[in-house]
């Protein structure tokens, strides 16, 4: 019998070295992977951070700048499209605020100047009670004009902000407008008639919105009319068509669009103002069209030699 013995110490030592080396290599690989992953993530997110910074800077200083990455094909292009949409909404909101401020200042400047001038004139010296009454009536008319302008501007801003739309009767809106314009009708000595309407005829906006769309158009017709203003309404495909006709000088072919620009008045305004016609700042029709379009409708003028013809379209209720 032969018995042989070999020491296992070298094997155990090799085993320990292999274990320690494996752990060290695993730790090194883990650190390396972490560093590589961090670098890759930072490299991948760097365009996102840059796009975010650009969007923030553009929204404050250059609201018309866009990424314009084209049709989305990956995550970054999808983010660019999303940010472009956000910038579009911010720019639209900014334009609405700027337009609101400009129109407010434009519309209120004239009546406010009249109120101040009338008050200063009344306080310059002692006057008779009738003179004070006349001054107060002038101030009241101008403050009513300012109040109506503010209400219309606020309504337009609310409609453009996407508030819920209501439903109202077209006949009720026309009757309210006729009643509101009764003082102007009596002052001008004209006849304002509301034709028979098909029943029921509803529009897809609140009653106050419909009245604010129609009132400047009807007031404009009453200001230019010679003897009559006719209001009528009918149903058309997808909406309601309201006609405002007068026997005044009408709208020139080259002015069917320009009269809807803020602060612009037609060529017939000078003669009508001299004959007691409208002497406003030229913002009523512009606000009427803006409010109608915000509610899904429109206001257009029809050039004709036989009088003024305006068409107010509102969505059906």
pLDDT, tens digit, 9 for 90 and up, residues 6-23:
777 888 888 888 888 899
Tell me whether residue 50 is in a domain: no
Tell me whether residue 203 is in a domain: yes
- Per the confidence metrics, is the pTM higher than 0.75? no
Q: Is the CB of residue 216 less than 8 Å from the CB of residue 284?
A: yes
Question: By percentage, how much of the chain surpasses pLDDT 70?
Answer: 83
Q: How far is it, in rounded angstroms, from Cα 21 to Cα 277?
A: 100
pLDDT computed for residue 30 by the predictor? 93
> The domain that contains 214 carries what CATH number?
3.30.565.10
pLDDT at 63 over 80: no
pLDDT digits (tens, 9 = 90+) for 24-60: 999 999 999 999 998 888 887 788 788 878 777 776 7
Average pLDDT score over residue span 126-150:
80
Place of tokens 């009513």: 144
Tell me whether residue 122 is in a domain: no
Q: pLDDT category, 275, cuts 50, 70, 90?
A: very low
Tell me whether residue 192 is in a domain: yes
Q: Which two tokens stand for residue 18?
A: 């292999």
Tell me whether residue 303 is in a domain: yes
* Residue 242 lies in domain: 166-315
Chain centroid to CA 34: how far? 51
> 212: closest CA among 283, 292, 299?
292
Tell me whether residue 159 is in a domain: no
pLDDT at 246 over 70: yes
Tell me whether residue 85 is in a domain: no
Average pLDDT score over residue span 108-120:
79
Q: pLDDT category, 157, cuts 50, 70, 90?
A: low
The tally of domains found in the chain comes to 1
Tell me whether residue 247 is in a domain: yes
pLDDT computed for residue 121 by the predictor? 81
Q: Which two tokens stand for residue 285?
A: 């029709």
pLDDT digits (tens, 9 = 90+) for 178-222: 998 888 899 889 999 988 887 788 998 888 888 888 988 999 899
pLDDT computed for residue 34 by the predictor? 92
């Amino acid at each position: 019998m032969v018995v042989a013995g070999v020491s296992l110490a070298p094997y155990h030592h090799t085993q320990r070295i292999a274990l320690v080396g494996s752990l060290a290599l695993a730790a090194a690989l883990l650190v390396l992977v972490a560093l590589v992953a961090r670098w890759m993530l930072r490299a991948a997110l760097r365009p996102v951070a840059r796009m975010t910074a650009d969007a923030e800077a553009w929204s404050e200083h250059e609201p018309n700048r866009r990424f314009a990455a084209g049709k989305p094909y990956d995550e970054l292009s999808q983010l660019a499209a999303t940010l472009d949409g956000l910038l579009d909404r911010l720019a639209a909101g900014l334009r609405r605020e700027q337009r609101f401020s400009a129109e407010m200042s434009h519309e209120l400047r004239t009546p406010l100047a009249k109120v101040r001038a009338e008050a200063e004139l009344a306080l310059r010296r002692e006057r008779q009670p009738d003179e004070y009454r006349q001054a107060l009536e002038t101030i009241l008319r101008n403050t009513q004009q300012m109040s109506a302008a503010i209400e219309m501007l606020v309504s337009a801003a609310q409609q453009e902000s996407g508030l819920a739309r209501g439903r109202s009767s077209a006949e009720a809106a026309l009757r309210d407008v006729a009643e509101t314009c009764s003082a102007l009708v009596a002052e001008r000595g004209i006849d304002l008639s509301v034709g028979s309407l098909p029943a029921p005829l509803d529009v897809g906006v609140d009653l106050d919105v419909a009245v604010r769309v129609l009132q400047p158009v009807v007031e404009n017709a009453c200001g230019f009319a010679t003897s009559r203003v006719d209001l009528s309404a009918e149903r058309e495909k997808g909406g309601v068509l309201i006609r405002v006709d007068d026997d005044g000088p009408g709208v020139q072919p080259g002015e069917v669009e320009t009269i809807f620009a803020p602060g612009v008045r037609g060529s017939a305004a000078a003669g009508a103002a001299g004959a007691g016609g409208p002497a406003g700042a030229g913002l009523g029709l512009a606000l009427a069209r803006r409010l109608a379009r915000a509610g899904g409708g429109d206001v257009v003028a029809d050039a004709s030699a036989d009088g003024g013809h305006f068409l107010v379209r509102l969505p059906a209720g």
